Every structure is written in structure tokens, then in C-alpha cells.
Structure 1
């Protein structure tokens, strides 16, 4: 049995992977960078560590408990993030090249840096 499909609802492929370093290019967290924690393929969104933080107030469930304020990362649409090169401090699109062994390797278009 195969794992989850890498395409979204409208059949666009997400070119980002878990663990990629990305920069937010629009919204309230513009220019912030972070690592992708999770990818939600159905909604075409990613969750980035430390970005798009939301606050949830949790009521106490039992007597004697105290309420909590929980901070968590909310999903961001993939069109609002871009791969980021830490060496050159620049955001870039990616392309796929095929090496001598026939393996596909991602690389940044602006810098030529290979992505793991």
C-alpha cells in the first residue's frame, strides 16, 4: 500500500519536504524563516516551526484544574513560503536535476545550491 499522495486536491504537486528551511514571503510573518514540521497535502498547506503562532485558551476540565493558554503553529499555504538558502541568505525557487546515477536532486535556482 502506498503512502499519502504528494498531490493536492487540485492536482498541484508540493515541491517542499519536511525539514526544508523556508522563508515566509507574505502575511504577518513576512521575511521570517523556519523549518517545515509537517505538510498537509489535502489543503496545500505547511506547518513551519515558530511561524504563524496562534493562541488557544483552554478551560479547566475538572475541579481543581487551572485553565491554560496554549501557543501553537497554524498552517500556512504553500504559495506563501519559499525555499531559503542559509549560506547566501536568499529565498529561491527550486528545480530538479538528474545526476549521473539517475537520481533526482533538488537545487535552488538563484544560488545553484543543492538541497538534501
Structure 2
């Protein structure tokens, strides 16, 4: 079970975007994720008339290492570590380490 999934709110703890908060748009692989409005790079894009795309310089979110982000805990309003706990019925749930509350309700 992954500790960070698509749709989670995260806060960046290291790098040029330290302190910024965003939503996970996609998980690239087990070590990289793409976060909304974080790690923006300029991409020079050629026009493609078959797809109806114009050319120019566009801003694009690039992957960031998963170790540079923490889950945002809405209770404490801070970044928090995430652990995995098995319930009595055998299901696995993600929990915040500081409050021992389930992430997914």
C-alpha cells in the first residue's frame, strides 16, 4: 500500500518549492509524483495542427521525489508522516503518525 496516492493534499518540505501546498495529480512511479503547481518548468512546444495545439512556451508540472513531500494533516494544519495499520477485519488503512487517525475515512 502506497503512503501517498493521487488526490492527496501534500506539502513540500525540501527543494525550491519548500512550503508550498498542492494536490497530487498522478503517481509516476514508486519514487516520484506530480503535484499541482509545484516544480513548474518551461517547455518549448511545437505546434501540432492535427491535434489543434498551438505552439509556444508552456508551463508544465514536473515530477518531484516522494521523499520531498509530506501529507498535509487538516487537524494539525501541518505536514505529517503516514503509517499503515491493519484493522481487526484485515483491512489496511493509512494513519497519521502524530494523531493515530485514519487518513481515509
Same fold, TM-score > 0.5, yes or no: yes
**Unaligned 5+ residue runs, structure 2?**
none
Structure 1, unaligned runs of 5 or more: 1-5, 7-13
Aligned length: 101
Q: 1:38 aligns with which of 26, 37, 45?
A: 26
Runs of 4+ in 1 over 6 A off after TM superposition: none
Which has the bigger relative contact order, CA under 8 A and spacing at least 6?
A: 2
CA distance in 2, matches of 1:66, 1:104: 46
TM-score, structure 2 normalization: 0.81
Rate the CA distance shift 1:67–1:109 in 2: closer, same or farther, 3 A: same
Q: CA deviation at 1:66?
A: 6.4
2:14 to 20, 23, 26: 26
Matched residue, 1:109: 97
Distance 1:49 1:68 in 2: 21
TM-score normalised by length of structure 1: 0.75
